[in-house]
Chain A
């Protein structure tokens, strides 16, 4: 088991290093001059050159990458003399456009995305898995058909269309909720909930549909196994059969999907954040693309990729806990 964990962690780190290299190269070896993007239209060549030196953009690319990695661990100071500014570790860079270090910028918007992702995750996991089990237990009856039919409909709605529909009916037409305006929960819990409820429902609807189908298929597959028949035959109550034997064996693909979906959302639920104008990681990413703010783009891509890689590792380790056979490989 220890060997497996270590190997898995090492592969994860390797992927992270490669990811950072590719991302860095992709966005810094582009035809656009990152130094020219540091100031507006009234820029003189002198200012651009000064900024190039201050940001270390005059160095060869590999050296820039090393500086970037060093900054991740030790923090980074730009410029020299009186005009210096420091970004604390883990420094992802400095955004001239916003006059801020990238890391605090990302940390500032991250809570919004975390609230959004985790709230929706709880909603869709509970509803999706429960409805999936329900559909499996009512196999061949109208309840199963209705649940699966509804799931397929939900699955076919693009998330931004659901979001826009909810916004149109709930907020504009029926005026059940005020127009979404994000505030942190500690400032105004009521307004926070009023803002978040529709985004949560939107994401939950989209994802629950997938989990209903997945859970139902998994349950049907495991409930057809011989050991389930054995469990029933030895007189275990149906509840125990479903929970202890059926669910556990069918759990692995659900855990995988759940981990990866949650990680994907933590990297920025771009579409839902745009529909409901939530100031999260996705909005930051979109805005920095529209502003051509390279350090912020690189930073958000790296943070999002980090979540995906970490989730992959956690999922694989959970696998080994749920299903001991995995450890052999």
Chain B
């Protein structure tokens, strides 16, 4: 094992031994080369970048197209049908490329794009918090052992024993009230609430994973060398050990993202997530249920979007895992 692991791009002998041609190349570059050869992963990445950019630029795109996610449009509705969208395919027209929402006539494309913003924001923020808390707690628990480890271990056990979705739902009225009392608008309070609870119930899994890795890492020579040379604990934890943990952290983050996006959608679907007038894919699905016998496109549009993004994340996540950890790879042998 190389003693010089202070650099995040230190060579990984495990990776090098499986592909001799790339010996001496950093794990990061090696993983990227493997990833580039995976066509499915590249397509998935393209889709994700596209979704990400459109979500980021949603206000711009929507205003260029002359749409609005919040404006009611009675002209697109048919009063004779009880305010269902006028015309076929859920009211598809030049003004509304994907049709309109029943009863309100709000544009579905605009709501879809704005919904992507909300979903992405929640998932990305929550996963960042999970990664930070989980990694720090995991490293400390694994390295310190003793009573620190016991306390952290027991509290993760306890957190994992909570029925996650049920707690999310049960806590939502009270915690959102608290957040509103802090001066947040009701819509934003819900979004922040989701981020907080996802992070709160999400970190123990990562912490466990990291702790397991650290338990074996701290017995390695380079840590011993650092201890012997008098490096402070903080330096050992975050400069010596942390760089060796990037692979599991990245893998965990990529597989968590689709789960979080789906969870946000599920909670909004259940009526405890994002609220009016904020659009979210889960909320659009929930709203579509009442109409899906007559306006099925309203169900398919957010549902398909959700599926495509989650699928792309899963394909990409699989490929990242294979690229970073060749031993479990699909393309091995």
Contact = CB atoms under 8 A, between A and B. Distances in A.
Interface in A269-303: 270-271, 274, 282, 285-286, 289-290, 292, 297, 300-301
B161 A268 contact: no
Interface in B241-271: 258, 262, 265-266, 269-271
Contact of B266 (A22, A159, A290): A159
Nearest to A298: B170
B306 A19 contact: no
Given A158-B307, A161-B285, A301-B166, A15 B157 contact: yes
B158 A301 contact: no
Given A161-B306, A305-B161, A217 B314 contact: no
Given A264-B163, A297-B170, A304-B166, A172 B310 contact: no
A27 B170 contact: yes
A87 interface: no
8 contacts: A30-B174, A31-B174, A155-B314, A157-B307, A159-B266, A168-B293, A292-B173, A304-B166
A308 B161 contact: yes
Contacts, number: 114
B272 interface: yes
B315 to A, nearest CB: 7
Given A168-B299, A217-B328, A308-B161, A152 B311 contact: yes
The 8 closest A-B pairs by CB, nearest first: A304-B163, A156-B311, A158-B262, A267-B163, A156-B310, A161-B303, A297-B170, A172-B293
Contacts of B169: 270, 285-286, 289
B177 to A, nearest CB: 7
Interface residues of B, number: 43
A247 interface: no
Contacts of A18: 154, 158
A15 B161 contact: yes
A309 B311 CA distance: 32
Contacts of B315: 152
A160 B266 contact: yes
Given A301-B163, A304-B163, A165 B158 contact: no
A109 to B, nearest CB: 14
Given A27-B170, A161-B306, A308-B162, 15 more contacts: A18-B158, A19-B158, A19-B161, A22-B158, A31-B174, A164-B289, A165-B303, A168-B299, A271-B165, A271-B269, A274-B270, A285-B166, A286-B271, A289-B169, A304-B163
Given A286-B169, A289-B172, A156 B307 contact: yes
B266 A289 contact: no
Contacts of A270: 165-166, 169, 270
B78 interface: no
Nearest to A148: B330
Nearest to A292: B173
Interface in B295-317: 296, 299, 303, 306-307, 310-311, 313-315
A80 B196 CA distance: 43
A19 B162 CA distance: 7
The A interface is mostly helix, strand or loop, or mixed, namely: helix
A309 B157 CA distance: 9
A289 B161 contact: no
A55 B306 CA distance: 46
Interface string A46-80: 00000000000000000000000000000000000
Interface in A1-54: 11, 14-16, 18-19, 22-23, 26-27, 30-32
A326 interface: no
A312 interface: yes
Contacts of A14: 154
B153 to A, nearest CB: 10
B177 A31 contact: yes
Given A19-B158, A267-B166, A268-B166, A26 B171 contact: yes
A275 B157 CA distance: 31
Contacts of B154: 14-15, 18
